[in-house]
Structure 1
Amino acid sequence: MEGVRILEVAQFTFVPAAGAVLADWGADVIKVEHAEHGDAQRGLVRLLGLDAAGKGSSFFPIMEGPNRGKRSIGLALETPGARKVLEELIRTSDVFLTNFLPTARRKLGIEVEDVRAVNPDIIYVRGSGFGSRGPDADKGGYDSTAFWARGGSAAGVTPPASETMMRMPAGAYGDSMGGMTIASGIAAALYSRKVTGEPSLIDVSLLGVGAWATQFSVNLALLADGPLPVAQAPKHGSRTNPLVGAYRTSDDRWLELCMLQPGRYWPEFCRIAGREELVADERFDSTEKLMANAAEAAELVAGIIAGRPFEEWLELLGSGAGQWAAVQNAWEVGQDPALRATGMIASVVDAEGKDRELVANPVQFDETPVRLTRAPQFAEHTDDILRELGLSDDELIQLKIEGAVT
């Protein structure tokens, strides 16, 4: 995307994450931040009970993830001086990207018609909680509300008898998926503009991303014309397959098995586990019998896996052809050899010159790992961007005196 300029008037993670992906792909992404306060996410010091930044460092993962590779300019959009700067940025950009609510967009004069009055060819992108039309178009939302709760994921993972609702497994969980979704829409719109000459208006909502993530269940409910029955999953395995599901090892770690052809993989598993006699067991000696007696087989599998530690099972299962995975925590994901072999954990140098690492976006071109640069400090590139627009030093100073720019 070298040569493509993205103008981002957005904050938090949902929409800025799209800008980060586009920056990963080579676009010039200019992040417009409030001239005094900056992106509101810069003020989040704790998230999910954890410190959001390292002590004594400017490296702030909650900002680095969705903002790496960008340049930051501080603009007081409500001032006349900043308006001139904004319009020049619009005039020189291919994409205008925002997650401001309609009332704020109208107040600041950044609705689609305002932006297209300056640049008729610009692709205009709105990220929202609940969509740009309908009863909740003016309502704000976060991924915990629009994506996780209302989009069906929370209900899908919360057991019927639970006294608490299951929370998202990571901060900005739905936001990150939504950002990737927006980035793909922008790529398609750039292609469409090249082919047709017409710019697109793109809408992506967290609710829509949430419904897409749970589409299998939603589609079944639509087919059934009502809520799906609550299915009580067996303790081990599935109802017809002992080699599907989570099993606990002797040292209280978990393995996820997903061998969808039980008859094919049962002999291999029994051999790996040192229980070859189970292959000829009359309860399990055919695919039909194994499926019919899945509950008994699953109890045996649970006992077998509980008899050895996690690391031993990694080696044993790794010798077979069946599908399975270790249940990993965040640190283990960051060290995953498959991710590292493919460059999905990328190096980045922070503002103090220290080497850091971030998760790369999951799309890779030509087997070439992405090269990341750090997220900008607040309004770090204001002077550089203004000079690129042709402003003299005297004009730049005057804008600062007026409070139009940082």
Structure 2
Amino acid sequence: MSAPLDGIRVLDLSRILAGPWCTQMLADFGADVIKIENPDGGDDTRSWGPPFLKDKDGNDTREAAYYMSANRNKRSVTVNLRSEEGKEVIRELAKTADVVVENFKVGGLAKLGLGPDDLMALNPRLIYCSITGFGQTGPKAPEPGYDYLIQGLGGIMSITGNPDGTPGAGPQRVGLAICDLTTGMYSTIAILAALQHRERTGRGQHIDMALLDVHVGWLANQAMNYFIGGKVPERTGAWHPNLSPYQPFPCADGEVIVACGNDRQFKILTRELGVPELADDPRFVTVPDRNANREALAEIISDRMRLKPREHWLTRLPEAGVPCSGLNTIDKTFEEPQVIARGMKVEVPHPLSPTGTVPNVANPIKFSDSKIAYRRAAPMLGEHTDEVLSEVLGLDAARIAALKETGAL
């Protein structure tokens, strides 16, 4: 099986997370992703530790776990973009590329003669994806955008956390850089769509991606609740604003999540709890009824579920047809039989690792007639500079050495 993007070359001028997350997905799909890094330290996230990968002597390397999470399957080339010769290397690489991904401030690369107009003039088939906090237009366009800021502006923190008036109330940051990650995914989607457009027209295009746009775009049902209902969504803690019961419940020795998405599942739950009469109680017959009386219903369910241990409910409810799960810490997630069966932890080759490999979270996409190839772990800084410049641009060792001598690489 071949990878879906075999033969596609991506010039990756991005760093931190949103851009690298996008290009890692493209690399997983088989694209040749050439990661351009500043010779002086490279991607900022290389130093975002601990933890760092340890070498065979147990010493920390310069490879931070954060950096390694988003740069698998790429080749690292160091280029000084302030050097005229360095900029010329980028132009020559762009002529051979299908896609450029960058997350400089608005206009930052254009000042260097490496903006979309500049590179697309050299390669009209080029797809040039710019990722910024606020996009290429609008009053905040010049400002840098970080995930935390976008979570605050975009509204996710206003609906995440305990409700007002309860212990620990207040807006909370989501525990992952979710705006960066989703922008990386949307950017991947946009690039794939642009590649298909190019197949039909022969033309590349500029893609303008903004973290704030993406965040607002995936407000989804909460935005529609506001548009249609006219009520600003609030923090609801562990329960769902549109479904009940759909929350954690206490057991004899812990908690489990019960998630009833329809009336049929609720009826089964009432039978398993030994209170089938609840299914006919006017307060609980339909989803809107249960939402209106969620506190009373939660109290009844809690009283019944406390009578038995977690494992009883985790086994019995799914067998009966009621969605139920535990509340895992990350270590327990990777011990889940389903996660193991789906191959969501993989070992990827790395030259500094004492075992020769490092663990990675697998790409979750499963193709029937293509493959995800885990060719290499996140590259060391400049690991592939000589290789890429020789292979792609045809430069000999003497020319590469001369460029290094001038500070271009």
TM-score by length of 1: 0.87
Q: 1:368 to 1:303 in 2, by over 3 A?
A: farther
1:179 pairs, out of 180, 184, 187, with 184
- Report the equivalent of 2:129: 125
- Report the equivalent of 1:218: 223
Specify the SS of the correspondent of 1:136.
Answer: coil
- Report the equivalent of 1:355: 357
Tell me the CA shift for residue 240 of structure 1.
7.7
Residue 380 of structure 1 pairs with residue 383 of structure 2: yes
Tell me the CA shift for residue 214 of structure 1.
1.3
Pairwise CA RMSD of aligned residues?
A: 2.6
Tell me the CA shift for residue 152 of structure 1.
1.2
Aligned residue type for 2:79: L
Provide, for residues 128-159 of structure 1, a one-character-per-residue CA deviation record: whole Å limited to 9, x for no partner.
1111110111111111112x211111011133
Tell me the CA shift for residue 103 of structure 1.
4.2
> Are the equivalent residues in 1 in contact too, given 2:147–2:180 (CA < 8 A)?
yes
Specify the SS of the correspondent of 2:143.
Answer: coil
Matches within 5 A, 1:21-100: 21-46=25-50, 51=51, 56-58=59-61, 60-100=64-104
Residue 344 of structure 1 pairs with residue 344 of structure 2: yes
Residue 155 of structure 1 pairs with residue 161 of structure 2: no
Aligned residue type for 1:345: K
CA distance in 2, matches of 1:201, 1:237: 39
For structure 1, the 5+ residue unaligned runs are none
> Are the equivalent residues in 2 in contact too, given 1:239–1:294 (CA < 8 A)?
no
Q: 1:367 to 1:289 in 2, by over 3 A?
A: farther
> Are the equivalent residues in 1 in contact too, given 2:160–2:236 (CA < 8 A)?
no
Tell me the CA shift for residue 177 of structure 1.
1.8
Q: 1:369 to 1:297 in 2, by over 3 A?
A: farther
- Report the equivalent of 2:406: 402
CA distance in 2, matches of 1:217, 1:270: 29
CA distance in 1, matches of 2:197, 2:31: 17
- Report the equivalent of 2:172: 166
Specify the SS of the correspondent of 1:67.
Answer: coil
- Report the equivalent of 2:258: 257
Tell me the CA shift for residue 221 of structure 1.
2.7
Tell me the CA shift for residue 110 of structure 1.
1.6
CA distance in 2, matches of 1:266, 1:42: 49
1:102 pairs, out of 85, 100, 106, with 106
Aligned residue type for 2:299: E
Provide, for residues 49-78 of structure 1, a one-character-per-residue CA deviation record: whole Å limited to 9, x for no partner.
xx4656635453211221000000000011
CA distance in 1, matches of 2:233, 2:156: 16
CA distance in 1, matches of 2:233, 2:99: 45
- Report the equivalent of 1:189: 194
- Report the equivalent of 1:286: 280
Aligned residue type for 2:260: M
Specify the SS of the correspondent of 1:248.
Answer: strand
Count of residue correspondences: 388
Matches within 5 A, 1:3-22: 3-22=7-26
Q: 1:287 to 1:11 in 2, by over 3 A?
A: same
Greater shift after overlay, 77-86 or 368-377?
368-377
- Report the equivalent of 2:213: 208
- Report the equivalent of 2:142: 138
CA distance in 1, matches of 2:260, 2:336: 22
Tell me the CA shift for residue 391 of structure 1.
0.9
> Are the equivalent residues in 2 in contact too, given 1:95–1:122 (CA < 8 A)?
yes
